[in-house]
């Protein structure tokens, strides 16, 4: 395992990832963090695995240009309409990523004990070759990567306040990602993943 990234802007993993560490200024990122922390409905979802209910180790919110249904970990959610702060950002990020995003999954990691396990964002609603843009606010957390089928971590990137990570077409088919627990992290982090949900 090694650090693939040294926090510099650029394309990685053969162009499947683009990292923009200073996508938002520190001040803009501070304002957005405070706004989202206060205004969004943060909920701890419960997923059902092997006959048992498990509260997920983080809080979540679903936001859409309009109310939109989305299935995640076997559960269907209906999004809240995104606030004005997200509207402007969605335009900016859509232009950068080259796709018109229509929904956002927000994750609130309350401290280093909150986490997200290994997965790919490959739900049917995202289509065959999804492009996903991930904006990070608050505490820096590691974003771990491994190839699909592998058991060992390949590399990691520290996602800092105001950074944008774009996962391009082909990323979800070939790679998995996770946000591991980190003992030393005492403060919260908000992550927004901008997605294009296909209407059926």
Ligand X SMILES: O=C(O)CCC(=O)C(=O)O
* Smallest distance, ligand X to C-beta of residue 134, A: 5
Which of 94, 140, 155, 193 forms a contact with ligand X (CB under 6 A)? 193
* Smallest distance, ligand X to C-beta of residue 106, A: 9
* Smallest distance, ligand X to C-beta of residue 195, A: 9
Which of 19, 143, 175, 194 forms a contact with ligand X (CB under 6 A)? 143
79 binds ligand X (CB under 6 A): no
191 binds ligand X (CB under 6 A): yes
* Smallest distance, ligand X to C-beta of residue 124, A: 15
Whether residue 21 contacts residue 5, with contact meaning beta carbons closer than 8 Å, is answered with no
Facing residues of 78 across strands? 69
Which of 61, 79, 102, 134 forms a contact with ligand X (CB under 6 A)? 134
159 binds ligand X (CB under 6 A): yes
45 binds ligand X (CB under 6 A): no
97 binds ligand X (CB under 6 A): no
Name which of residues 11 to 40 contact ligand X (CB under 6 A): none
What string of DSSP letters covers 165-180?
A: EEE-TTHHHHEEEEE-
Nearer to ligand X, 18 or 107 (CB): 107
Facing residues of 93 across strands? none
179 binds ligand X (CB under 6 A): yes
Residues within the interface to ligand X (CB under 6 A): 105, 107, 116, 121, 134, 143, 159, 177, 179, 191, 193
């Amino acid at each position: 395992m090694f650090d693939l990234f040294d926090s510099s802007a650029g394309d990685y993993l053969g162009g499947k990832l683009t990292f923009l560490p200073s996508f938002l200024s520190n001040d803009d990122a501070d304002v957005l963090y405070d706004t989202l922390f206060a205004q969004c409905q943060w909920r701890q979802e419960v997923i059902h695995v092997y006959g048992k209910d498990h509260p997920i180790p983080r809080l979540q919110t679903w936001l859409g240009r309009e109310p939109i249904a989305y299935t995640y970990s076997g559960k269907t959610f209906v999004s809240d309409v995104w606030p004005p702060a997200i509207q402007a950002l969605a335009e900016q990020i859509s232009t950068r990523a080259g796709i018109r995003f229509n929904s956002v999954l927000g994750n609130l990691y309350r401290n280093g004990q909150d986490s997200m396990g290994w997965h790919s964002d490959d739900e049917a609603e995202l289509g065959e070759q999804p492009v996903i843009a991930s904006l990070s606010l608050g505490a820096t957390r590691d974003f771990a990567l491994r190839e699909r089928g592998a058991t060992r971590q390949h590399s990691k990137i520290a996602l800092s306040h105001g950074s944008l990570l774009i996962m391009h077409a082909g990323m979800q088919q070939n790679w998995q990602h996770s946000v591991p627990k980190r003992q030393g992290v005492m403060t919260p982090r908000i992550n927004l993943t901008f997605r294009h949900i296909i209407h059926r």
